[in-house]
């Protein structure tokens, strides 16, 4: 229990990758990615995977290790990440985890909630309803069956809505009633470090990143993935909007503006999720490197002292 996982969170484009590499060097350790879209090798530009130089600067795990055509759930990631941590903690006292996918971060640090098995026909029916009636019909149904979860979920994510409705309909109980039950205790301590900045700065960084992605070839990447657009992995900001352009529904300028707008909304949801963790140490994104290291070093030392 004197092993420590440093989990670096915060909104997209805030500088999590950079801090992860800085800490990996300081602690002479390795990095696990908990960004659910960076798992997929076909989605390099639109998911802002670490650059070649960044990948060479520190050992990263769970970056582009799957194909979009391979099913890979948050449960799969929890299992694989815990196995990798067991391996890494044999060599290191501290391991770094970097990622903005809140559910995936929680899966590793806290464990997943468990749900009863539901007849697959329920999900099939919901998927058909999504195609026939659109996401709004499913949103209304979830609001009726589980208003508590409706307030907390990303209601623009059809996969999350269908998963919640599947449980509501299949069990006759609200999805939220299965959440936050006691879970298996981890064999390591977790230090949660969150990067934050004023909203205007976050939005500016997002806009700059989207422009950079377009310069790097995001449109060409989306074009190559059009035939796979119905896969869950591609229900992602940056691709959905460009598919609208490629279909002739939007102009390119409007699609880019929608990517920026939807990414800003995503960043807001990220912060809402991460702010729920009262144990997170929030650090200004613009702190000097040595200041960050001193703060985090002290927090790691405190956790290790608690374990002895």
Instruction: Give the SS3 label for residue 196.
Output: strand
Residue 31 annotated as binding site: no
Q: Which of 126, 109, 111 is nearest to 160 (CA)?
A: 126
List the beta bridge partners of residue 61.
32
Residue 184 annotated as binding site: no
Instruction: Give the dihedral of Cα atoms 304, 74, 52, 29; nearest 10 deg.
Output: 20
Look-up: residue for tokens 């002290």?
298
R_g over Cα of the chain: 20
Rounded distance between C-alpha atoms, residue 164 and residue 167, angstroms = 5
* Sheet with strand 4-9: strands edge to edge: 60-61, 31-33, 94-98, 4-9, 189-196, 281-284
Residue 11 annotated as binding site: yes
* Number of residues assigned to the chain: 308
* DSSP letters spanning 60-105: EESSS-B-TTS---HHHHHHHHHHHHHHHTTT-SEEEEE---HHHH
Residue 12 annotated as binding site: yes
Residue 134 annotated as binding site: no
List the beta bridge partners of residue 233.
none
Residue 14 annotated as binding site: yes
Residue 162 annotated as binding site: no
Residue 15 annotated as binding site: yes
Terminal Cα distance for the chain, rounded? 8
Encoding tokens for residue 288?
């000097």
Known binding positions for ATP: 10-17
Known binding positions for substrate: 12-17
Known binding positions: 10-17
């Amino acid at each position: 229990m004197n092993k420590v996982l440093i989990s670096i969170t915060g909104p997209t484009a805030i500088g999590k990758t950079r801090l992860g590499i800085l800490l990996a060097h300081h602690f002479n350790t390795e990095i696990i990615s908990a960004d659910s879209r960076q798992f997929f090798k076909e989605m390099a530009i639109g998911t802002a995977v670490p650059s070649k130089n960044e990948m060479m600067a520190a050992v990263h795990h769970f970056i582009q290790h799957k194909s979009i055509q391979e099913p890979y759930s948050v449960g799969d990631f929890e299992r694989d990440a815990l196995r990798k941590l067991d391996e890494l903690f044999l060599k290191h006292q501290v391991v770094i985890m970097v990622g903005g996918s809140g559910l995936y971060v929680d899966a590793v640090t806290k464990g997943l909630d468990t749900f009863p098995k539901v007849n697959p026909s329920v999900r099939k029916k919901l998927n058909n309803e999504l195609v026939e009636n659109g996401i709004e019909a499913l949103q209304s149904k979830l609001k009726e069956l589980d208003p508590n979860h409706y307030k907390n979920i990303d209601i623009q994510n059809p996969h999350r809505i269908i998963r919640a409705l599947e449980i509501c309909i299949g069990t006759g109980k609200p999805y939220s009633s299965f959440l936050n039950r006691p879970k298996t205790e981890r064999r390591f301590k977790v230090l949660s470090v969150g990067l934050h900045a004023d909203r205007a700065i976050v939005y500016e960084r997002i806009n700059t990143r989207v422009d950079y992605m377009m310069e790097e070839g995001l449109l060409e990447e989306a074009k190559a993935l059009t035939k796979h657009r119905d896969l869950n992995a591609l229900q992602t900001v940056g691709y959905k909007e460009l598919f609208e352009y490629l279909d002739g529904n939007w102009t390119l300028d409007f699609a880019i503006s929608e990517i920026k707008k939807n990414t800003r909304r995503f960043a807001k949801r990220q912060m809402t999720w991460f702010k729920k963790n009262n144990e997170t140490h929030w650090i200004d994104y613009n702190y000097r490197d040595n200041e960050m290291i001193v703060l985090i070093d002290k927090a790691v030392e405190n956790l290790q002292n608690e374990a002895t």
